[in-house]
Amino acid sequence: MANWDLKGKRAVVTGGTRGIGATTADELRALGAEVLAVARKPVDAHAVVTADITRAEDRERIVQAVKDRWGALDILVNNAGMNIRKPWTELAPYEQATVVDTDLLGPANLLRQLHPLLAQGKAPAVVNVASVAAFVDVGSGAAYAMAKAGLVQLTRSLAVEWAGAGIRVNAVAPWYIRTPLTEPVLSQPDRLERILARTPMKRVGTPEEIAAAIAFLCMDKASFITGHCLVADGGLLSLGL
């Protein structure tokens, strides 16, 4: 099992205080990484930079915290995200902007601002947390879908642009995972039944299953993988008739 770990790695996980992000932060720590979580609200348990990824000055605080602590960055997990689930015609322009800022422009600008520190990292790796909504309509609303689709293409473009600097850039695309974000949907029996009917594995995923996929893409073991989007969906995208 040599090198199936993240020993000595320095990682930032946005949205690292709840749901998929918190579980990913725990997984990276268990594999030997030091982790700095980012969220708007602080939590006591671990190191957290209090920052809103949609605000340029807050993103600069994240950069400063990494500079002060490590001087370089090996792993960025761009996980923070949200949704306002409404039909396109009912989504107010400010709501559309909030979704796109959080799910696409915030992560994209954080990548730009952290690039110099990633470029100084050891075998640096980025994982952007997208969604199957980037590929098919899953009732998430168009703003979330287009933002996540943009995040997947950003992943491919930066994988190419940053390959020369040795920075790998990948994404994961989950289907339904039980977290505080999805609990309001999954707690409705009729909604859950419709979701399971479309899922060949007949269950939703766990944060641990996404954290494992993210951790693998961060490892030096994944050293030839870049520009890839790893779908973790219980078979959803493979289901035809």
19-30 helix and 207-218 helix, angle to the nearest 10 degrees: 50
Q: Which member of 144, 162, 175, 176 is catalytic? A: 144
DSSP calls for 44-83: SSS-EEE--TTSHHHHHHHHHHHHHHTSS-SEEEE-----
Report, in Å, the least distance between residue 157 CB and ligand NAP. Answer: 19
Site residues (CB under 6 A) for ligand NAP? 14-15, 17-21, 38-41, 52-54, 79-82, 102, 129, 131, 174, 176-177, 179-182
Report, in Å, the least distance between residue 50 CB and ligand NAP. Answer: 8
Rounded distance between C-alpha atoms, residue 212 and residue 198, angstroms? 24
Rounded distance between C-alpha atoms, residue 211 and residue 3, angstroms? 18
Report, in Å, the least distance between residue 3 CB and ligand NAP. Answer: 27
Reply yes or no on whether 94 is catalytic. Answer: no
3-state secondary structure of 205: strand
Report, in Å, the least distance between residue 182 CB and ligand NAP. Answer: 4
3-state secondary structure of 180: coil
CB nearer to ligand NAP: give 119 or 212: 212
Residue 24, both tokens: 């990913």
Q: Provide the Cα torsion 209, 215, 217, 219; round to 10°.
A: -150
Report, in Å, the least distance between residue 53 CB and ligand NAP. Answer: 4
CB nearer to ligand NAP: give 162 or 176: 176
Q: In the sheet that 75-78 helps form, which strands lie side by side, from edge to edge?
A: 48-50, 34-39, 10-14, 75-78, 125-129, 168-174, 229-232
Rounded distance between C-alpha atoms, residue 192 and residue 13, angstroms? 29
Handedness of CA 210, 54, 31, 2 (dihedral sign): positive
Catalytic (active-site) positions: 144
